[in-house]
């Protein structure tokens, strides 16, 4: 059998079911993700590194002991009951046709014991030997569960009774939970409903104390009264009751009552003081627990939505690329969109990791060059599938935009537009329309202001709700979400020095207008283009605005096109021109037109002119689903809306070979600046090592590898190391970590021990991690995932400094 290929560092270059990029993404998110066959063993066929960190087993040991079978792992740790719970939930999802399942469960770990996790699974359409394949995500919620357990312990250690009631009215009071002193007194561990005889008897016996408090209870105000409680054995106690509203269920208040025994009146004053102190302690503990739980819940919910959005684009574009491996243009387009969505995802992950930003509400913005078309393409890639799934029309249009490369924070702009468009799609019923319109407002020498208008024909919002629109957790329609999207959007718009306004009418729709300022790049497209006036062009699009805009762009190239608004008109125009002995050089045909779509229009034009006319399909949607049919009908090229001058010009130039096209948006940075340099990469993760080696090799470097800190020190002390130019050092490695290895190298007696550049290349990306790297004797810090250009720049600077 053939052996797997390896590179010069011994790293296997294999594919597997899970792509390297996808596994790297999962590891970057620091969430446990695994892939299972839903057979009788629930066999795991892939897990990321954080799964093994979660269960505290090295991967090799786990596979050797349990062969990737949960049905061996759980019994080994005596957690058969938890395994049965998981099996029941998964089997129920399969039997009922669900695609997702989830539960809170205990996960056994190496060394004994367990941690609490939130399990969420997604059943894919893939099958293996007749069994479904599923992805599982495990979120560590051990701290939250322990906090709740600690709260329960607090209840049970408070002297006296503690009980929580749902109070609908005097006749419908339900005991929700109580501490052990309360349940032991009444001789039961079960909650008591309003029709329980003993419970009702105690309520009735305290009628005169409770009834006067009901108006306060309805308003959720503090209550205080003296109660006489009697248990099944007839024992009675005088109890001082204090209650506060801690929650609401279906409009009815939930009260937490504390009871202090004041049967011995000589101790009443002392008890009252203790009651106040204990009440405050309990309220403080409850408030802290509720606040912490709410913050975690809201944060996780928000991040789940924010992360899934770019992930959807990444997975979707990866799938499209996989079926177009022979189409270089399509692959480049997919990779460009994957790159943009990946950077968006990375920006979100950076916000998650930097907890101080979340807690203080501080988010940073960048001021870097970006292409507006790339942002709009990325937004369309994410939103179009959502709109199509709901049966909605979706359109992106651009007006009067000569400027294509801007300076600003493209990730924040992307987030703003996705938030607004996702809401528009969510709240627009089937057959409705969602539109994004981009328009230039003002231009100065070095700046420009753009307006982004998101409109829909959806449910609209009431005037009362519009006043609360930007308040956290506010929602008028309970369709889902956290109620954080609009507050986040408004905050981002403010950070970008922009404005946001809204107009909405119930049952008619909503329009958001965002105005944002941007800087102008020095690499602007020309105001005039080399003339292409000899070309004869026909534009066919049922949208008159799109026809007008295409005409304006073509006019910049010296082309005077003719435009029609249907496929039938286009065919008729071609027939008339052809019969007159003339012909069009190029036809720009919209894909989605009524009566006759772009594919059929293309087919009929080809029957008239044969192959003499170039036909370009223009579409606002992903054209992969129609590409085969369109090419069979005779289409030559595809262009995505909204059209930009540079993309249209380049398409015409490439198609007609009339001259050199304009420069395309900035691609992957290429350099040969590391040619002849010998660099060591110290990295214990094979995938990360392979990526680093490839990136350095692309720049011409000769690369050696070390898998531990000790190997890095040994390399430096060898003849190879003493002639080396730089070291890229991971921090978390076995035997000796990166800090220790750097210090050991600096202590060596060799002449270059103090000067050889050592650069931390690690996922430890906090400010204190950078400081720790410098304190250990390193020269610089590069965070993972690797920004190729940043790595090249850092190496270039360090190597230049030692010359």
Tens-place pLDDT, residues 66-112: 999 999 999 998 888 989 999 899 999 988 989 999 998 889 999 88
Domains and CATH numbers, the chain: 31-140 (3.30.450.20), 146-263 (3.30.450.20), 365-520 (3.30.565.10), 537-656 (3.40.50.2300), 678-801 (3.40.50.2300)
Q: What is the pTM of this model?
A: 0.43
Cα-to-chain-centroid distance, residue 636: 36
At 25 the pLDDT is 60
At 154 the pLDDT is 55
At 692 the pLDDT is 84
> Is residue 407 within 8 Å of residue 369, measured between CB atoms?
yes
At 9 the pLDDT is 36
Count helices and strands (H / E) in the chain. 28, 27
Tens-place pLDDT, residues 27-78: 556 678 888 899 888 899 888 888 898 899 999 999 999 999 999 999 998 8
Token pair 């997702």 is found at 100
> Is residue 377 within 8 Å of residue 337, measured between CB atoms?
yes
Burial 759-771 (b: 16+ CB within 10 A, else e): bbbbbbbeeebbe
> Is residue 574 within 8 Å of residue 580, measured between CB atoms?
no
At 721 the pLDDT is 82
Q: How many angstroms separate the CA atoms of 413 and 492, rounded?
A: 8
* Residue ranges, the chain, pLDDT below 50: 1-17, 266, 351, 353-359, 473, 478-483, 659-668
Helices (H), 391-439: 410-426
- Calculated CA dihedral for residues 7, 10, 11, 14, nearest 10 degrees: 70
Element (H, E) at 601: helix 598-609
Using only C-alpha atoms, what is the Rg of the chain? 33
Strands (DSSP E) contained in 27-99 are 32-37, 44-47
End-to-end CA distance of the chain: 50
């Amino acid at each position: 059998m053939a052996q797997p290929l390896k590179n010069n560092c011994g790293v296997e270059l294999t594919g597997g079911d899970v792509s390297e990029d996808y596994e790297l993404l999962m590891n970057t998110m620091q969430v446990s993700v695994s892939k299972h066959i839903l057979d009788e063993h629930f066999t795991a066929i892939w897990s990321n590194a954080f799964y093994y960190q979660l269960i505290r087993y090295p991967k090799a040991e786990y596979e050797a002991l349990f062969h990737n079978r949960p049905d061996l792992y759980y019994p080994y740790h005596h957690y058969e009951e938890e395994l049965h719970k998981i099996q029941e939930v998964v089997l129920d999802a399969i039997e009922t046709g669900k695609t997702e399942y989830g539960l809170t469960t205990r996960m056994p770990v190496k060394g004994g014991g367990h941690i609490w996790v939130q399990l969420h699974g997604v059943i894919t359409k893939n099958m293996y030997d007749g069994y479904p394949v599923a992805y599982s995500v495990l979120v560590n919620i051990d701290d939250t569960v322990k906090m709740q357990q600690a709260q329960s312990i607090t209840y049970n250690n408070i002297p006296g009774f503690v009980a929580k009631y749902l109070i609908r009215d005097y006749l419908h009071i339900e005991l929700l939970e109580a501490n052990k002193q309360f349940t032991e007194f009444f001789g039961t561990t079960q909650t008591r409903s309003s029709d329980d005889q003993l419970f009702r008897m105690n309520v009735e016996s305290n009628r005169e104390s409770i009834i006067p408090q009901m108006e306060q209870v309805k308003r959720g105000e503090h209550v205080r009264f003296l109660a006489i409680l009697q248990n099944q054995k007839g024992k009675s106690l005088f109890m001082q009751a204090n209650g506060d509203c801690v929650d609401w269920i279906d409009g009815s208040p939930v009260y937490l009552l504390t009871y202090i025994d004041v049967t011995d009146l000589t101790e009443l004053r002392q008890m009252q003081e203790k009651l106040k102190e204990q009440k405050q302690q309990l309220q403080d503990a409850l408030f802290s627990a509720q606040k912490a739980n709410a913050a975690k819940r809201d944060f996780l919910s928000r991040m789940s939505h924010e992360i899934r959005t770019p992930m959807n684009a990444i997975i979707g574009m990866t799938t499209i690329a996989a079926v177009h491996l022979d189409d270089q243009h399509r692959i480049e387009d997919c990779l460009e969109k994957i790159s943009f969505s990946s950077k968006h995802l990375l920006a979100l992950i950076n916000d998650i990791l930097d907890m101080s930003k979340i807690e203080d509400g501080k988010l940073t913005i960048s001021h870097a060059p970006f292409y507006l078309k790339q942002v709009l393409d990325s937004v369309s890639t994410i939103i179009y599938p959502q709109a199509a799934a709901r049966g909605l029309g979706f359109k992106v249009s651009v007006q009067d935009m000569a400027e294509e490369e801007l300076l600003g924070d493209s990730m924040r702009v992307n987030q703003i537009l996705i938030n607004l468009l996702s809401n528009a799609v969510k709240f627009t019923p089937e057959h409705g329309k969602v539109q994004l319109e981009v328009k230039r407002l003002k231009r100065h020498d070095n700046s420009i202001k753009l307006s982004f208008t998101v409109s829909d024909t959806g449910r609209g919002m009431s005037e009362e709700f519009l006043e609360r629109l930007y308040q956290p957790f506010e929602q008028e329609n309970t369709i889902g979400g956290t109620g954080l999207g609009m507050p986040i959007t408004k905050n981002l718009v403010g950070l970008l020095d922009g404005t946001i306004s809204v107009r909405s009418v119930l049952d008619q729709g909503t329009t958001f207008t965002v105005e944002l300022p941007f800087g102008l790049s020095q690499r602007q497209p020309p105001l005039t283009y080399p003339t292409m006036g000899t070309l004869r062009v026909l534009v066919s699009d049922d949208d008159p605005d799109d026809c007008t805009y295409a005409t304006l762009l073509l006019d910049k190239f010296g082309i005077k096109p003719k435009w029609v608004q249907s496929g039938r008109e286009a065919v008729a125009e071609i027939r008339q021109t052809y019969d007159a002995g003339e012909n069009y050089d190029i036809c720009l045909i919209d894909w989605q037109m009524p009566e006759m779509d772009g594919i059929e229009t293309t087919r009929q034009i080809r029957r008239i002119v044969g192959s003499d006319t170039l036909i370009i399909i223009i579409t606002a949607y992903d054209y992969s689903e129609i590409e085969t049919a369109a090419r069979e009908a005779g289409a030559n090229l595809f262009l995505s809306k909204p059209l930009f001058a540079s993309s249209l010009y380049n398409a015409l130039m490439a198609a007609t070979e009339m001259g050199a096209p304009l420069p395309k948006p900035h691609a992957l940075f290429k350099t040969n600046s590391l040619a002849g340099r010998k660099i060591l990469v110290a990295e214990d993760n094979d995938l990360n090592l392979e990526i680093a080696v490839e990136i350095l090799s692309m720049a011409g470097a000769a690369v050696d590898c070390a898998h531990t800190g000790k190997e890095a020190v040994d390399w430096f002390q060898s003849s190879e190391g003493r002639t080396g130019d730089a070291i890229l050092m991971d921090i978390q490695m076995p035997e000796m970590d990166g800090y220790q290895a750097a210090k050991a190298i600096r202590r060596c007696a060799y002449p270059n021990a103090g000067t050889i550049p050592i650069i931390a290349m690690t996922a430890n990306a906090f400010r204190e991690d950078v400081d720790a790297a410098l304190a250990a004797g390193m020269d610089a810090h590069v965070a993972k995932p690797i920004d190729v250009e940043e790595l090249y720049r850092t190496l270039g600077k360090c190597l230049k400094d030692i010359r």
